[in-house]
Amino acid sequence: MSIRVGIYGYGNLGRGVECAIKKNPDMELVAVFTRRNKESVEILTKTAKVCHVDEVESMVDEIDVMILCGGSATDLPVQTPKLSKLFNVIDSFDTHAKIPQHFANVDASAKEAKKVAIISVGWDPGMFSLNRLYANAILVDGKDYTFWGKGISQGHSDAIRRIEGVKNAKQYTVPIEEAVNAVRSGSNPELTTRQKHLRECYVVAEEGADKARIEAEIKNMPNYFADYDTTVYFISEEELQRDHAGLPHGGVVIRSGKTGWNDEHSHTIEYSLKLDSNPEFTASVLVAYARAAVRLNKEGKSGCKTVFDIAPAYLTSMSGEEIREHLL
């Protein structure tokens, strides 16, 4: 019997999950839950239904795992604890400083309901975290580096859009090649924020807006831009739609470290992603962990987990024999 999946929230990530489910023949999309008027939401999967979020309790017997596709700022802190009382759940919570609190909240409700909840799934946090852990466990004496991009940062794009006189904007985070190469060489450099990434902003200004002021406001914005070398390009809305409509992203995690009785040998472990679509890749990771959540729950497990707690074999539809034969 296939794994019956629900999608809670139907933005870019929810649509990505829908596409990923189509690629996994052992999984089936049952329903998409929306806060909008459900008649206004059209989905791609003809065999699935659209439900209002208020209907979620009526679906507990029809869904094996719910994939939560809301945002980390206000949606997931409420939704994941709440829905893990009803379903096995997966989320992509990425507000790093709040993970311990979120973990504790979700763990309490999932344990009480005897459900499995896997939080902070995706690529960072997610696959990048896993690679940091594996690399740290192997090269105990070493140093970690993470570079992001080249890719669109939604948070930084939104920050620019909030500036007066800005009609639209896209911001690319770009890793600085010299820094990446210095790390790859194994020299374990100390790098400042400015030395690791630069920021490229494509901005559509409103008619008659003061571009010099907009540029200065961007470049001096604390936390978001002030610590980086930032370049601002003013372009037309047409150019923005034509050249910057996608959501590419990626990045690299590198650990280099020493082994040997006298630290005589160096090693470098590198994991990198090049993604055409950040939400679709994130969604593909969520779906693999959704399979794991259902399996673990069938074994009687419950509570909150992260990617660190899941044995890799749980992620694939292949059997133990198959993965030992084909992938080991």
137 binds its own copies (CB under 8 A): yes
Q: Which residues contact 203 (CB under 8 A, 6 or more apart)?
A: 160, 166, 168, 169, 214, 218, 232, 233, 234, 235
Q: What is the CA radius of gyration of the chain?
A: 22
- Torsion angles phi and psi, residue 236, rounded to 5: -85, 160
Who contacts 205 (Cβ-Cβ below 8 Å, separation ≥6)?
Answer: 165, 166, 167, 211, 214, 234
Q: Pick from 120, 157, 168, 302: which binds its own copies (CB under 8 A)?
A: 120
Which of the stretches 55-63, 126-134, 166-174, 235-243 binds its own copies when contact is defined by CB under 8 A? 126-134
Q: Does 194 bind its own copies (CB under 8 A)?
A: no
- With DSSP H G I counted as helix, E B as strand and the rest as coil, what are the percentages for the chain, rounded to 5? 40, 30, 35
Choice between 141 and 207, CB closer to its own copies: 141
265 in contact with its own copies (CB under 8 A): yes
Binds its own copies by CB under 8 A, chosen from 127, 176, 214, 293? 127
Determine the interface stretch with its own copies among 2-10, 59-67, 166-174, 274-282 (rule: CB under 8 A).
Answer: 274-282
Site string for its own copies, 78-117 (x = CB under 8 A): ------------------x--xx--x--------------
Q: How far, in Å, CA of 214 to CA of 15, rounded?
A: 34
Site for its own copies in 146-165 (CB under 8 A): none
In this structure, what token pair is assigned to residue 248? 């590419």
The Cα 190–Cα 182 span in angstroms is 10
Question: Encoding tokens for residue 310?
Answer: 């899941």
CA distance 175 to 231: 14
Name the residue among 39, 40, 34, 26 with its Cα closest to residue 6.
34
Q: Return d(Cα 180, Cα 183) in angstroms, integer.
A: 5
What's the one-letter identity of residue 296? L
Interaction of residue 177 with its own copies, rule CB under 8 A: no
Q: Choose which of 273, 290, 293, 294 interacts with its own copies (CB under 8 A).
A: 273
Helix (H, G, I), strand (E, B) or coil at 111: helix
Choose the binding region for its own copies from 65-73, 154-162, 174-182, 310-318 (rule: CB under 8 A). 310-318
Site for its own copies in 16-75 (CB under 8 A): 16, 18-20, 22-24, 44
For the bound state, the minimum distance from the C-beta of residue 140 to its own copies, rounded and expressed in Å, comes to 4
State the number of binding residues for its own copies (CB under 8 A): 71
Site for its own copies contains 271 (CB under 8 A): yes
| Rounded-to-integer distance, Cα 91 and Cα 98, Å | 14
Using the rule CB under 8 A, which residue among 34, 88, 105, 129 binds its own copies?
129
Q: Would you count residue 259 as binding its own copies (CB under 8 A)?
A: yes
- Under the binding rule (CB under 8 A), the answer on residue 261 touching its own copies is yes
Residue 101 CB, nearest approach to its own copies (Å): 11
Given a contact cutoff of 8 angstroms between Cβ atoms, the answer to whether 251 and 151 are in contact is: yes
Q: Is 245 in the site for its own copies (CB under 8 A)?
A: no
Query: Using CB under 8 A, which of the segments 72-80, 129-137, 165-173, 174-182 binds its own copies?
Result: 129-137
Identify which range of 12-20, 68-76, 161-169, 210-218 contacts its own copies by CB under 8 A. 12-20
